Amino acid sequence: MARTPVRTAKGRPLASTRWLQRQLNDPYVARAKREGYRARSVYKLAEIDARFHLLKPGRRVADLGAAPGSWSQYAAQRGCRVIAVDLLPMTPIPDVAVVQGDFLNPDTQREIVTRLAGPVDLVLSDMAAPATGTRAVDRLRAEALGEAVLAFAAEVLAPGGACLVKLVRGAEARLQDAARPLFRGTRLLRPAATRSDSSEIFLLALDRRPPD
Ligand SMILES: C[S@@+](CC[C@H](N)C(=O)[O-])C[C@H]1O[C@@H](n2cnc3c(N)ncnc32)[C@H](O)[C@@H]1O
């Protein structure tokens, strides 16, 4: 693919010029645009789904950190019943219920549980804690967020259900240990659409054990 050059405009910081250059030359960005998805991250979920068959018609899915909405779009297209949660407002998606709020706020979690009105089959989390640039702090924040997602998943998942959670490298061992008593299988995944310079890694926890 021919590269699109970006000139550094007067007043535009170098970092945003680099971001723009990368966006314009990213094949997943182009493909998402062509295929009508709101974000390139849809291809991470699509790759994981192709391997593990998570999204099937009628399955109930909680999509945490859902905006702008490509994972919810993808799940809804596969016939899943989706509830999408984000701090940010989301442009509506047909057949997707939206809760706007901070997932870490207990009131938001109560609202999600009320709206779910029953167990779910899959919890997805593409949330990321804001990066501080200090690796140890970012890892601790990612661990705390991941643990909150696992605790929520343990509460709302039906036996046999699954949870896919985005982490940063360094947080995965602790989260995998936390997931083992709750799920029969765990995998660590870096889909092809994850940028090579990104520290993100996904924990997929499969087959929720029945609660004690
Ligand atoms: C990488 S984006 C998700 C992209 C999405 N999976 C998609 O495919 O369109 C991460 C999202 O997580 C949201 N987020 C981060 N922390 C959150 C929190 N505590 N509660 C709710 N949403 C959160 C951000 O607002 C952001 O929209």
Give the total number of structural domains in the chain. Answer: 1
DSSP letter string, 75-128:
HHHTT-EEEEEESS-----TTEEEEES-TTSHHHHHHHHHHH-S-EEEEEE---
Task: For residue 175, tell me if it sits in a domain.
Answer: yes
Residue with tokens 């295929």: 35
| Predicted local confidence at residue 16, as pLDDT | 73
| Predicted local confidence at residue 88, as pLDDT | 97
Residue in 43, 87, 103 to alter for ligand 1 test, most ligand atoms within 8 A of Cβ: 87
Q: What atom of ligand 1 comes closest to residue 103's alpha carbon?
A: 20
Task: For residue 185, tell me if it sits in a domain.
Answer: yes
| Predicted local confidence at residue 133, as pLDDT | 85
For residue 160, is it left (φ>0), alpha (ψ between -120 and 50) or beta?
A: left
Q: Which residue has the higher pLDDT, 183 or 17?
A: 183
Q: pTM value?
A: 0.91
Mean pLDDT, residues 69-93:
98
Q: What atom of ligand 1 comes closest to residue 166's alpha carbon?
A: 1
Task: For residue 89, tell me if it sits in a domain.
Answer: yes
Task: For residue 8, tell me if it sits in a domain.
Answer: no
Q: What is the pLDDT of residues 146-156, one digit of tens each?
A: 999 999 999 99
Structural domain boundaries enclosing 46 = 39-208
Rounded to the nearest angstrom, the distance between the alpha carbon of 180 and the centre of ligand 1 is 25
Q: Using CA atoms, how far apart are residues 40 and 134, in angstroms rounded to an integer? A: 26
Q: CATH code at 179?
A: 3.40.50.150
Nearest residue (CA) to ligand 1, atom 10: 127
Q: Which residue has the higher pLDDT, 9 or 103?
A: 103
Whether 138 contacts 100, CB under 8 Å: no
Residue in 55, 86, 108 to alter for ligand 1 test, most ligand atoms within 8 A of Cβ: 86
Mean pLDDT, residues 42-65:
98
Whether 17 contacts 9, CB under 8 Å: yes
Task: For residue 4, tell me if it sits in a domain.
Answer: no
pLDDT at 7 over 70: no
Return mean pLDDT, the chain. 92
Mean pLDDT, residues 27-37:
96
Whether 158 contacts 119, CB under 8 Å: yes
Contacts of 150 (CB under 8 A, 6+ apart): 163, 165, 175, 178, 179, 182, 205
Q: Which residue has the higher pLDDT, 4 or 36?
A: 36
| Predicted local confidence at residue 10, as pLDDT | 65
Per-residue confidence at 11, pLDDT binned at 50, 70, 90? low
Task: For residue 18, tell me if it sits in a domain.
Answer: no
Q: Which residue has the higher pLDDT, 182 or 2?
A: 182
Mean pLDDT, residues 143-168:
97
Task: For residue 17, tell me if it sits in a domain.
Answer: no
Q: Using CA atoms, how far apart are residues 112 and 95, in angstroms rounded to an integer? A: 16
pLDDT at 136 over 60: yes
Annotated catalytic sites, by residue?
Answer: 166
Mean pLDDT, residues 173-188:
97
Rounded to the nearest angstrom, the distance between the alpha carbon of 63 and the centre of ligand 1 is 9
Residue 202 CB: number of other CB atoms within 10 A? 21
